[in-house]
């Protein structure tokens, strides 16, 4: 029976050590052999101090297994570091006394290497995400990945936008999405399609700005053989979207002449292939999108007025990221989860001061820009970095942040918010950034004061409560010149 028990322990991915009452090793499993790079016959029967060197457990210098053996108390989830056979190990360790008839007769130790835990966690996250996407594809089968549940944001402006989009989705009418670059127009378009009566049909996206003007008409409406040199019989995207939705992204890039044909397709529900003399019926919903405000579309004659009124029966204005408040943090966490899975990293969050500065920035590129910045930061991470700090952010973006903070005159509020957050959520390793945080704080405060006093050193010194001489020293330290503020 005992041999079966040993065989079961050998199957575990966790390293297992069993101690006798005298502190010698009675058993180790295969995972423990791999962890220590030693055979079990080199360990069994020996004391821990004969094998391991420099065991570090807070202020303790003995094995948690020996501690559990001597005290009769369990020790759980201790980050233990030790050296064995020239190899450094770091594992999450738990030790439990083995008690028989009220007497401690041994101890069992479980060690999960931190690197292995990290890898297993990331693989699990990645598996869940991949499974979800794969399952979603199987369920939808219409060329989409997203539904309304995938749109993140708890701000009232975003929730109101989602509610409007849901109402329009259930009605049989064209929908126009208006939003800045990177606000998620296709995410809304797919969600509307999947919440409509057309969900069983295909979702056909068309980027009108990416297709050359000479090819756009044939792409949308199709061609017949002989219409022009090399032309063959081909079905256009309007026909391919049968019983589904066609998404005309960046429709403001479409030539006015072609807009007239789109208008006819909407009104008559039919299209004419290039070079053909007959019309073909279509049955699809039209969802369009533009990054230009409706009034500008009309005033600048970017779009035909009659087409605009046809397409915008259901007009949805998607708010920019800068108007969505703390939605920024929700999106950041989602992107961190995504890049953790993709890049085999384990980032917990941004350091608080950097998060606060992100709030002061206008994000002209919206969610797409945020995604790009975080992906760049991930590429700068060290192996043991768990938080994204200033040192991971691209230099050009740090300059944008600095100017944004000064422009908004909210640097003190931003930093106050950062340092009021609980330090308990920080890992000890993150305190190595304290000098950098303090320097950034001081530099930005000085620049804000220099802007208010228009570079007058005497007035600036008084505003900051320091002498002109002390201010001059700090300006030199941070390479700030008074001339740039005059």
pLDDT, tens only, 292-310: 988 898 899 999 999 999 9
Residue 184 reports pLDDT greater than 50: yes
Query: How far is residue 304's CA from residue 322's CA, in Å, rounded to a whole number?
Result: 31
For tokens 């065989």, the residue is 7
pLDDT at residue 187, rounded to an integer: 95
Q: Count CB atoms within 10 A of the CB of residue 161.
A: 22
Task: Tell which wins on pLDDT, 209 or 384.
Answer: 209
Residue 435 reports pLDDT greater than 80: no
Residue 160 and residue 323 in contact, taking contact as beta carbons nearer than 8 Å? no
pLDDT at residue 156, rounded to an integer: 92
Joined together, the tokens standing for residue 104 give 């401690």
The alpha-carbon radius of gyration of the chain (Å, integer) is: 32
pLDDT at residue 70, rounded to an integer: 87
Model confidence at 425, pLDDT cuts 50, 70, 90, reads: very low
Task: Tell which wins on pLDDT, 142 or 314.
Answer: 314
Residue 228 reports pLDDT greater than 90: no
Task: Tell which wins on pLDDT, 216 or 454.
Answer: 216
Query: How far is residue 288's CA from residue 201's CA, in Å, rounded to a whole number?
Result: 17
List C-alpha distances in Å: 49 to 80, 110, 342, 375: 15, 18, 41, 45
Residue 28 has φ and ψ, to the nearest 5°, of: -135, 150
Tell me whether strands 175-178 and 285-290 are parallel, antiparallel or unpaired: parallel
Q: Once rounded to an integer, what is the mean pLDDT over residues 385-390?
A: 85
**Which ranges of 312-432 would DSSP assign to H, the alpha helix?**
327-343, 352-360, 366-379, 395-408, 411-420
Joined together, the tokens standing for residue 393 give 């952010």
pLDDT at residue 123, rounded to an integer: 54
Task: Tell which wins on pLDDT, 60 or 191.
Answer: 191
Model confidence at 431, pLDDT cuts 50, 70, 90, reads: very low
According to the per-residue pLDDT averaged within each range, which of 135-149, 308-322, 435-449 is highest? 308-322
Choice among 91-105, 176-190, 297-311, 393-407 with the minimum mean pLDDT: 393-407
Q: Count CB atoms within 10 A of the CB of residue 215.
A: 9
pLDDT at residue 79, rounded to an integer: 76
Residues forming a β-bridge with 83: 53, 88
Q: pLDDT exceeding 90 applies to what percent of the chain?
A: 40
Q: Comparing C-alpha atoms, which of 8, 55, 21, 22 is closest to residue 36?
A: 55
């Amino acid at each position: 029976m005992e041999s079966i028990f040993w065989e079961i322990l050998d199957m575990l991915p966790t390293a297992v050590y069993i101690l006798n009452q005298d502190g010698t090793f009675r058993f180790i499993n295969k995972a423990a052999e791999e962890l220590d790079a030693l055979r079990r016959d080199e360990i069994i029967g020996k004391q821990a101090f004969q094998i391991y060197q420099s065991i570090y457990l807070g202020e303790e210098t003995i094995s948690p297994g020996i501690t559990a053996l001597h005290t009769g108390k369990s020790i759980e989830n201790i980050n233990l570091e030790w050296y064995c056979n020239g190899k450094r190990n770091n594992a999450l360790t738990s030790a439990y006394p083995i008690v028989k008839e009220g007497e401690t007769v041994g101890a069992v130790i479980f060690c999960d290497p931190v690197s292995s835990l990290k890898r297993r966690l990331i693989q699990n996250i990645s598996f869940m995400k991949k499974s979800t996407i794969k399952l979603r594809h199987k369920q939808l089968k219409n060329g989409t990945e997203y539904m309304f549940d995938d749109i993140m944001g708890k701000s009232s402006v975003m929730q109101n936008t989602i509610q409007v989009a849901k109402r329009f989705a259930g009605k049989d009418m064209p929908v126009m999405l208006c939003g800045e670059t990177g606000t998620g127009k296709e995410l809304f378009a797919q969600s509307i399609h999947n919440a409509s009566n057309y969900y069983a049909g295909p979702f056909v996206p068309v980027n009108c700005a990416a297709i050359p003007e000479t090819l756009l008409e044939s792409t949308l409406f199709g061609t017949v053989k002989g219409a022009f040199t090399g032309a063959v019989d081909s079905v256009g995207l309007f026909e391919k979207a049968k019983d589904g939705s066609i998404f005309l992204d960046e429709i403001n890039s479409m030539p006015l002449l072609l807009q007239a044909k789109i208008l006819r397709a909407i009104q008559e529900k039919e299209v004419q292939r290039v070079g053909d003399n007959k019309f073909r019926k279509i049955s699809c919903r039209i969802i369009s999108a533009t990054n230009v405000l409706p009034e500008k579309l009309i005033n600048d004659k970017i779009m035909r007025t009659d087409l605009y009124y046809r397409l915008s029966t259901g007009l949805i204005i998607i708010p920019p990221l800068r108007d969505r408040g703390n939605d920024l943090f929700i999106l950041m966490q989602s992107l961190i989860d995504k890049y953790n899975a993709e890049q085999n990293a384990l980032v917990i969050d941004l350091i608080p001061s950097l998060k606060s500065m992100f709030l002061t920035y206008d994000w002209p590129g919206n969610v797409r820009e945020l995604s790009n910045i975080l992906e760049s930061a991930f590429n700068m991470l060290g192996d043991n970095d768990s938080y994204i700090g200033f040192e991971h952010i691209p230099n050009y973006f740090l300059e944008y942040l600095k100017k944004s903070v000064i422009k908004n005159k909210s640097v003190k509020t931003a930093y106050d918010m950062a340092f009021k957050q609980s330090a308990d959520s920080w890992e000890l390793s993150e305190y190595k950034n304290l000098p950098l945080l303090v320097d950034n704080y001081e530099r930005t405060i000085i620049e804000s004061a220099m802007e208010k006093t228009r570079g007058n050193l005497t007035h600036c010194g008084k505003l900051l409560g320091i002498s002109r001489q002390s201010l001059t020293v700090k300006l030199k330290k941070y390479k700030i010149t008074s001339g740039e503020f005059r």
